Amino acid sequence: MEEINRCSWARDDVLMQQYHDREWGVPLTDSRALWEKLMLDGFQAGLSWRIILKKREALRQAFCGFEPTLVAAFTAEDIERLVVNSEIIRSRSKIIAVVNNARAFLRMQAAGEDFSAWIWSRIGGKPIQHLGPIPTSSPLSTQISKELKQRGFSFVGPVIVYAWMEATGLINSHHPDCFRRSVG
């Protein structure tokens, strides 16, 4: 059986392989799905992506399927309930950021700014084809981070934004020999 060439981070772990092969780097254009991935990348800060994948379904349940309208209505009591939920990442600051970011997402919508159209316009409407060593951030992720913060988002620093851009196919960072390089 022929060996499949993957990005090095996805070679030795079945869960990471499945994520790499099916999701990572596939261009997303759905605003809600893009927002969910940004929230998950915020949860990942300081942790491994494998942890997020293992807790993703519990996070989806805890945050009402990452439906911004529902999450924006969370109260202080909801936040306290989530902080003690052992099924999810219980970082108070990350939980509060998700609620805050749902409200920021809805403010963008109310102002007539579609989240997907906004982010894709920042990169010219098509994935950036990255080659060479993978940085943890870039001038572009720094600029997008700044713009998100200006819109009221939090927990969206340049490193989180860069990882999110890779995960959602805004930047194609698949290794040139990876079978997923031609995604999108």
Average pLDDT of the segment spanning 42-56: 96
Cβ proximity of 144 and 171 under 8 Å: no
The pTM (predicted TM-score) of the whole model is 0.95
Cβ proximity of 169 and 184 under 8 Å: yes
Helix (H, G, I), strand (E, B) or coil at 149: helix
The pair of structure tokens assigned to 106 is 């809805």
- Adjacent-strand bridge partners of 172: 129
Q: Which of 27, 26, 10 is nearest to 177 (CA)?
A: 10
Give pLDDT, residue 132: 84
Q: For the segment 63-103, what is each residue's pLDDT rounded down to a tens digit?
A: 999 999 999 999 999 999 999 999 999 999 999 999 999 99
More confident residue, 153 or 4: 153
Rounded to whole angstroms, the Cα distance separating 67 from 45 reads 21
Amino acid sitting at position 164? W
Q: For the segment 17-41, what is each residue's pLDDT rounded down to a tens digit?
A: 999 999 999 999 999 999 999 999 9
